Structure 1
């Protein structure tokens, strides 16, 4: 679901090259991708896009162990939504250049921005939360997520007050900005308990934009320390030790680490910001990095630029092109030939903003819960200060008890988290749904003497079901399925279908892989709340053109039965 990240790069290529043929090539690809993603990922209840964290794609490295791939699909991540916001903005800009209709994308981007700020901003923390997660009812994970925070600042999702707050209040450790914070206990370093130089680079770009000198100095030092000590641009290093030894996987000469390092020169010290019609210069240089820097033979469209920046600060005192003043710090794209640009900074510090380092920290383990005899109970978590009990997505109840009475006559979803002495909340327990027998309807899907029905691109492309109830009411709908097409943690053979309820499109159902050849390993799809009416209701599971996965060939699952839970 974060595949649209390439849109940002494709647009940047156009801004640098001005190649209209490239723009015409990428336009239909971007448009088709965004249109399909809107149908597949958009959640009208929150206004956000579902799916996995951008780049943080190692499941248990940043998600609770209980979360299945269907659960991850249901979640809504900060960084991924920031990318969808920016991608919709970009396609609208491209539409204007190519004189195509693009107003709908501008409307979508504005809505995504509004809902990111509505659902992710944690006022008491002063930064955005990591993601919304759960099953039937979502709650915010209050962990800090460095890439998502950075993109929110760079894309202007965060206003200036939020941007300042992010850099003053976010938890940053001695060796750099960790991918997430606090860390997850019992999970080895990779995305968890680690610093990635390319993420640190985005954080630095956002710090430069916001004007937090201390945050920028620390971020630059994080990159340069690693490069100096390791004598290469490693992919990541352990947050706890600052050493590249100890992460699950690592690579030297990693391209995105190298790109981040180079970007510190091009975009921070030299201050190049590319636009459709030229380059706007805005160097941001902390006092400790004061000096003279020259970038020679930089190729830009039909020009070769030699750029010298002198001094420090974030405001330009003077800028010249071949000895003549360059108006508004802007170099038009029509320039050609070889030219010299000299920038003199105002030599003033911009370091009044707060910035504090924190010790690396691990959250508590998530409680495990059970429901017996009209009571929910959970284990005692060492180091806990108190627990938070979530019931049907309502605001959590604070308690120091290890159990609570539940209403045995009402369906409900329950989960519990543990909060430590520093106020950091663990992941929640796996949600448990309590369902009185009277509230459960099961729809058998077996066919041809088999204990299941197969769905694929050629079999049961429209699976028609009926649900009969004696009263109107809200029901939770989900399907028991198996998918042995591939491993659970990689590959691209998730079965995808469109759900129609009483003839109307309701949303997308996903049936992710559960293990190679594990066609007898059953799990739950994602779920939807349906307003059933008294009598017969129709439910159709349909393969539409936009349900093609990225494998394009294998899109198969086995369905055992459907379940409707009266809420």
Structure 2
């Protein structure tokens, strides 16, 4: 019988899709060259997945008849119901992202347990490098679970755990630009799809990533709200720090012309802004209110979308970059927040297509709960701010939604985002919310006015690919040639972080006075540019001070690491038992800001850490990551810190935190 039903549904769909383009335009939720999405089916070329019921999608998934999910979702779109049931029946990993998106609301006790385990995991040797030390979405997830449960015990525990994370990040990963944090986003699993090819781990670590800094700003903001709930004095200080970082992000990482955020600042000494946008960071900025309401609307309305969904980066590194279901869910919720029905529909259709035959727990439920139903949790209660596009008509119902001591059935009638009526058990509620003191079983009925959600058509275009990295030959410190010059491109020449001019020839000369960092950026159009090759750094001899290991006493040449006596004398072993604190003196001609790096070797597999004191005051924590196993000869630069020195003699000291290194030289560069 099931086989006959499948054949019948397939024939119906083939006939429907074969009746002409106009019919598809009217009946489909979304159509592109890769797939077509209908209320009850998804077509991928000759393959058709049809939702027969909320518990079965032909050719993709079927749930055992004895299994039930809570809450259950029902609507006029059978595929929406089936994708919801499928997601709810799958086993989640309880990542902070899944918890923030929906599991904190749906399964708060299990989510709290998972967040506690994540925060209390032992710190691995190389946790400090190259990724940021602050776990993305952890603070958002912790706050969501507190609002879902009202547990003061969990609030106190979460506040203390978050405080430790923030303190560790503040100590380990401040950037060269005051106020920002450096570190590679933890979600980047393939550096080749996020960074230019010349970058090594150190260069990637020292970028100022938008997502890393949004995560920190939001974590500070949530810590402030937690402190307020606990009536702690730290509330104001945390809020001030969060606001300061939010302003920095919006000042330095926002593209005014393109109306979206860049992925990071990168490069040596004078970082420049990446021409690529990280769309997860853009969604995160919207959802955490780092972006203003006007900026949030602009991001969703003006972002270039691919026909099949929301790409990871704009422009892309390569044409075959796959879409991720997590990003589609984040953008669906973001689009609902800014009232953009077209973006919500595209993200939802893409999410259905990506999750119809592969596991995607927590994602479509998030788009339903936080998107269409507009549910948000706070210490005061559960608030509803629905947004239902015309592509999803008919009644929608969530049955068995648990909230603290209550179970809710929530019905939405109509489309639009204006609430004509909001009733709790037939009693009108003006603030469209449910209080924390509710208990028992209740029904929420929301009627929407059917108002138009006016917005401009989305910018949907084929994926643009970033221009090739320029191959640059420097014939002198001042003159360069672009050996792979492309006549279609212009090349932006940046001097010390500022674009001085755009050139259209393969030869050019730059003026250099003092410390000069030159970047060369290929530009195809206003919204499609590439990366600079490795920055060209010119340091006048007068701006450079080097203190070699051989000039520092007392010393301990590392003969057990380097057998040759002449070579070993160029190094000092800094370890747990030897030279745990080493001091040297720098005589500088002028007071001012200097960049400091330590030349070192590290042949272990552990990232070494040292604090830097300048004139007996803490200045920074420097990282010395391993580069090549058992290689104690090759010298690499540590992370860079900016310090202020007085004219004359300055005392510089490195103090052991962890790991063994061989100190080779200290370098100071005057700004």
TM category, shorter: 0.7 to 0.9
How high is the TM-score relative to the length of structure 2? 0.73
Cα distance in 2, alignment partners of residues 457 and 318 from structure 1: 68
- Deviation track 1:531-566 (CA, whole Å, cap 9, x = no partner) reads 44443222212235xxxxxxxxx6333332222234
Cα distance in 2, alignment partners of residues 89 and 421 from structure 1: 37
3-state SS in 2 of match to 1:563? strand
- Deviation track 1:334-354 (CA, whole Å, cap 9, x = no partner) reads 111111222222222313234
Structure number with bigger Rg:
2
Cα distance in 2, alignment partners of residues 27 and 375 from structure 1: 53
TM alignment of 1:162-181, pairs within 5 A: 162-181=295-314
User: Residue 520 of structure 2 aligns with which residue?
Assistant: 416
TM alignment of 1:151-550, pairs within 5 A: 151-185=284-318, 193-228=321-356, 231-232=357-358, 253=359, 257-377=360-480, 378-382=482-486, 384-407=488-511, 410-421=514-525, 423-445=527-549, 447-449=555-557, 450=568, 451-470=570-589, 472=591, 474-486=593-605, 493-543=606-656
Cα distance in 2, alignment partners of residues 406 and 11 from structure 1: 52
Cα distance in 2, alignment partners of residues 73 and 226 from structure 1: 32
Paired residue for 1:98, among 210, 230, 235? 230
Kindly indicate whether the alpha-carbon contact (under 8 Å) linking 1:4 and 1:87 is maintained by their aligned counterparts in 2: no
Q: 1:340 to 1:531 in 2, by over 3 A?
A: closer
Kindly indicate whether the alpha-carbon contact (under 8 Å) linking 2:275 and 2:529 is maintained by their aligned counterparts in 1: yes
For residue 439 of structure 1, report the CA deviation from its aligned partner. 4.0
3-state SS in 1 of match to 2:289? coil
For residue 381 of structure 1, report the CA deviation from its aligned partner. 3.5
Q: 1:292 to 1:517 in 2, by over 3 A?
A: farther
User: Residue 131 of structure 1 aligns with which residue?
Assistant: 264
User: Residue 274 of structure 2 aligns with which residue?
Assistant: 141
- Pairing 1:52–2:184 present: yes
3-state SS in 2 of match to 1:48? coil
Cα distance in 1, alignment partners of residues 346 and 396 from structure 2: 20
Cα distance in 2, alignment partners of residues 58 and 482 from structure 1: 26
For residue 473 of structure 1, report the CA deviation from its aligned partner. 5.7
For residue 57 of structure 1, report the CA deviation from its aligned partner. 4.3
Q: 1:86 to 1:472 in 2, by over 3 A?
A: closer
Cα distance in 1, alignment partners of residues 197 and 205 from structure 2: 15
Q: 1:474 to 1:82 in 2, by over 3 A?
A: closer
3-state SS in 2 of match to 1:413? strand
RMSD, aligned CA: 2.3
- Pairing 1:37–2:169 present: yes
Q: 1:149 to 1:408 in 2, by over 3 A?
A: closer
Q: 1:500 to 1:30 in 2, by over 3 A?
A: same
Cα distance in 1, alignment partners of residues 577 and 456 from structure 2: 61
Q: 1:122 to 1:413 in 2, by over 3 A?
A: same
Cα distance in 2, alignment partners of residues 31 and 318 from structure 1: 42
User: Residue 241 of structure 1 aligns with which residue?
Assistant: none
User: Residue 12 of structure 2 aligns with which residue?
Assistant: none
3-state SS in 1 of match to 2:162? helix
Cα distance in 2, alignment partners of residues 543 and 473 from structure 1: 27
Q: 1:465 to 1:214 in 2, by over 3 A?
A: same
Q: 1:515 to 1:324 in 2, by over 3 A?
A: farther
Q: 1:35 to 1:223 in 2, by over 3 A?
A: same
User: Residue 120 of structure 1 aligns with which residue?
Assistant: 253
User: Residue 38 of structure 2 aligns with which residue?
Assistant: none
- Deviation track 1:389-429 (CA, whole Å, cap 9, x = no partner) reads 12222334211233333457743222211111465221111
Cα distance in 1, alignment partners of residues 576 and 428 from structure 2: 64
Cα distance in 1, alignment partners of residues 629 and 447 from structure 2: 61
3-state SS in 1 of match to 2:626? coil
Q: 1:210 to 1:383 in 2, by over 3 A?
A: farther
How high is the TM-score relative to the length of structure 1? 0.86
User: Residue 62 of structure 1 aligns with which residue?
Assistant: 194
Q: 1:520 to 1:528 in 2, by over 3 A?
A: same
